[in-house]
Amino acid sequence: MLDLSGKVALVTGAGSIGEGWGNGKATAVLMARQGAKVFGLDINPAALADTTAIMNQEGHTAWAARTCNMTVSEDVKAAVDDCLVRFGRIDILVNNVGGSAPGDPVSMTEEEWQGQMDLNLKTAFLGCKHVLPVMERQFAVDGKGGAIVNLASIGCMSFQVGGRVNAAYAASKAGVIAFGRSTAIAYVKKGIRVNTVVPGTMHTPLVEHRLVRQMGLNDAQDLVAKRNASVPMGHMGDAWDVANAVVFLASDEARYITATQLVVDGGMTAARPGA
Ligand SMILES: NC(=O)c1ccc[n+]([C@@H]2O[C@H](COP(=O)([O-])OP(=O)(O)OC[C@H]3O[C@@H](n4cnc5c(N)ncnc54)[C@H](O)[C@@H]3O)[C@@H](O)[C@H]2O)c1
């Protein structure tokens, strides 16, 4: 089940914002555990070095990494070319780079708005732009195209009255879902599947490293408790819950699944507050 032997996976944002497991880092390691050759990209060399140390510790020799700014087309193209030189093909692309910045249309600057569009949407666009032709060529040669998994967020699906507003994040992640569905249909006859994983409230290093500061709090434990209580299951998920969903959608077991979303949120989007 979910055997990725013989497949080459390109994972963006394969580091993590802080110590512990972010979604991209867990996905890269899980794909290696499932037998894939993994090429990890990240803008932060120190974050990549952490992932490399884990890969080495676990004995995954078919791992390579490279710094890359996923918002810069030439950088992405160079990284894709590098992956082809090292591993010869790309079967899986995981567009994991992304993150939220708070604000509504009045409080956000134009630069903050554009920054969110670039970080969350343009990164997925550029990943697809440079990898789709590779997968299409593979399909023409050996009938094996590829699978692309993009990362959205339930932050584009449900909103709390009086809660934190992330208008640009919501818009850009809704864009990721629509972009994925449209691209999936454009490539459906070319052996390429495109799907989106939609994580809910997860306990990743983001909580302690960014949210506590962004929300002007100094008590991470209190924030963790509130986030746990907000989930119908009673606790946040973690990066492995996201990674398991990504691996499934990337695997051959998901061969008939394209142009859809897999929500990983402990029931959050289905629940009514107080119900
Ligand atoms: N953590 C959550 O609770 C959560 C919830 C919903 C959705 N998500 C989504 O999951 C994805 C991963 O989130 P996370 O919190 O696990 O990530 P993270 O912030 O821990 O790690 C993201 C990695 O991406 C890298 N990165 C940032 N900008 C980059 C760029 N321009 N080019 C290349 N690399 C870049 C960072 O250096 C970092 O190592 C994001 O798309 C995020 O929106 C996360």
pLDDT value at 216 more than 80:
no
pTM beyond 0.85: the answer is: yes
pLDDT value at 273 more than 80:
no
- Residue-level pLDDT at 220: 85
Distance CA 230, CA 273 (A): 8
Question: The domain spanning residue 136 has which CATH number?
Answer: 3.40.50.720
Is the distance from the beta carbon of residue 76 to the nearest atom of ligand 1 less than 6 Å? no
Q: Is residue 274 part of a domain?
A: no
Q: Is residue 271 part of a domain?
A: no
Q: Is residue 33 part of a domain?
A: yes
Please indicate whether residue 38 or residue 216 has the higher confidence score (pLDDT).
Answer: 38
Strand blocks (E) in the chain: 8-12, 37-42, 63-67, 92-95, 146-151, 192-199, 261-264
CA of 240 to the centre of ligand 1 (A): 14
Q: Is residue 216 part of a domain?
A: no
Residue range 136-151, pLDDT digits in tens: 999 999 999 999 999 9
Residue range 51-109, pLDDT digits in tens: 999 999 999 999 999 999 999 999 999 999 999 999 999 999 999 999 999 999 999 99
Is the distance from the beta carbon of residue 251 to the nearest atom of ligand 1 less than 6 Å? no
Residues identified as active-site: 169
Question: For the chain, what is the mean pLDDT?
Answer: 96
Q: Would you state the torsion angle of the CA atoms of residues 249, 124, 130, 53, taken in this order, to the nearest 10 degrees?
A: -70
pLDDT value at 214 more than 80:
no
Give, for ligand 1, the residue of 204, 213, 240 to mutate: max count of ligand atoms closer than 8 Å to Cβ: 204
Number of domains into which the chain is organized: 1
Helix (H, G, I), strand (E, B) or coil at 182: helix
Range(s) of the domain holding residue 163: 8-206+238-266
Q: Is residue 82 part of a domain?
A: yes
CA of 22 to the centre of ligand 1 (A): 7
Ligand 1, atom 25, lies closest to the CA of: 13
